[in-house]
Amino acid sequence: MSKMMLLVIDSFGIGAMDDCKKYVPSDCRANTYKHIRESMKGKLNIPTMYKLGLGTLVDNQPAPPYAFGYSKLAHHGADTYLGHQEIAGSCPKKSNKRLMKDIHKQMKRALEGAGYYVTYPINHCPVLLVNHAAVVADNLESALGNIINVTADFKKMPFSEVKKLGKVVREHVDTTRVIAFGGPYTTIEHILSCVQEKHKGQWGVDTPKANVYGQGYNVYHMGYGVEIDKQFPMIAAKCGLKVYRLGKTADVLHGEGPSDPIVNTRELLEKVEESYINQQEDAAFLVNVQETDLAGHAEDVEWYGNLLNKVDQWLSSFIPKMEDDDILIIMADHGNDPTIGHSNHTREYVPIMIVGNKVKKANIGVRETMSDVGATFSDFFGLPPTAEGNSFLDEIVDFGRGE
């Protein structure tokens, strides 16, 4: 019996990447970890992660007894969804910003060509109504032009069909994401009543007002250029390996098996430990601590620091409970420096800390892509390789150790 766990501390970056000038030049001073530590003035207490490699990476402390390294972000920008696609083994392609006002005509033709009935439900508005059941429009919550939404009334179009519709939309637009979602406790009439122009030329559904969230809500994310079937969770599903997706990974990674999008950190870690201890066969655990990212967006240093303290304290008690063959990888997906003067993600290197009884002392260096993590998971379980990434399993595992 072997288990491998990924713990992503969302947005816990360790310093701006060298290419940040190409993205947001003012963010080149970002360092989420260091700035939180400085601002907390001694109240940040994370000795477990510090001894597992964080101190080596940031302060040139002696190397830990286990493996460590850090990674670049291969995806463009700094994004939780894109970062997790990369971690899972398929790095998204460079996308473009598009608004429905610029693409609605060709999108209508494409959908009609696929057999859908498509109309303009609102005069002088580029929003599309498909089969009297779903609205194709701009996403109003993300950055302008990043995402196209497909918002549906599940009573008129079941989620399985909404996903199919979303895939057709995905094939005909190169935005960062297409999100297909909906719920059974709204109506298409109410969804249409929530259409608004947020910025000039940006037309979409005010999703919170549309009553799609809550009981029965379901969502399907589609990244640009992402090979979902060649990511670790989907490879594992095809091969019969149980994969737990807990925390934000339940929302941003495709897969099968147990999933629970728990946001509260204490509740999440309790669920992780309970599931881990009760799991008696080979399994993978993909976990994301989302609240740290929320604290970064809120520019709340103390909240962020207290969450790090909570995670570190949990790690100190959890690691001794790991079985002999198990491996835990702790990392981040980007940065979100709460001291930098804005509430957006920051493009930073991310730490990689690896622990387990069979993990040897090793510096895996700087990885060119976080996809190496997904590749390592596939390698650990003897599964087919991911679309991208190079496994570092041979660099970190000593099968003679602990015997």
pLDDT per residue as tens digits for the range 364-385 = 999 999 999 999 999 999 999 9
Q: What is the mean pLDDT of residues 84-105?
A: 95
What is the CA 215 to chain-centroid distance, rounded? 23
Query: How many CA atoms does the CB half-sphere of 284 hold within 13 Å?
Result: 29
pLDDT at 43 over 60: yes
Buried b (16+ CB within 10 A) or exposed e, 173-191: bebbbbbbbbbbbbebeeb
CA angle in degrees (0–180, nearest 5) for 197-207-169: 80
pLDDT > 70: percent of the chain: 99
Distance CA 168, CA 173 (A): 9
Cα Rg of the chain (Å, integer): 22
Whether the CB-CB separation of 182 and 159 falls below 8 Å is answered with: yes
Q: What is the mean pLDDT of the chain?
A: 95
Neighbouring residues of 184: CB distance < 8 A, sequence distance ≥ 6: 153, 154, 155, 216
What is the CA 84 to chain-centroid distance, rounded? 4
- State residue 403's pLDDT score: 43
* DSSP-assigned beta bridge partners for residue 351: 70
401 pLDDT band, cuts 50/70/90, is very low
- State residue 77's pLDDT score: 86
For CATH 3.40.720.10, the residue range(s) in the chain are: 3-93+226-396
- State residue 141's pLDDT score: 84
Query: How many CA atoms does the CB half-sphere of 398 hold within 13 Å?
Result: 16
What is the CA 159 to chain-centroid distance, rounded? 22
- State residue 398's pLDDT score: 76
Whether the CB-CB separation of 390 and 372 falls below 8 Å is answered with: yes
Q: β-strand 327-331 against 350-355: which pairing, if any?
A: antiparallel
Q: What is the mean pLDDT of residues 192-200?
A: 96
Residue 309 structure tokens: 């303290």
CATH superfamily of 3-93+226-396: Alkaline Phosphatase, subunit A (3.40.720.10)
Residue 101 structure tokens: 């006002």
pLDDT at 92 over 90: no
What is the CA 132 to chain-centroid distance, rounded? 32
CA–CA distance from 157 to each of 182, 195, 279, 311 (Å)? 9, 19, 37, 41
Other CB atoms within a 10 A radius of the CB of residue 115 amount to 8
Instruction: Look up tokens 């497909």; give the residue.
Output: 150
- Reported pTM: 0.86
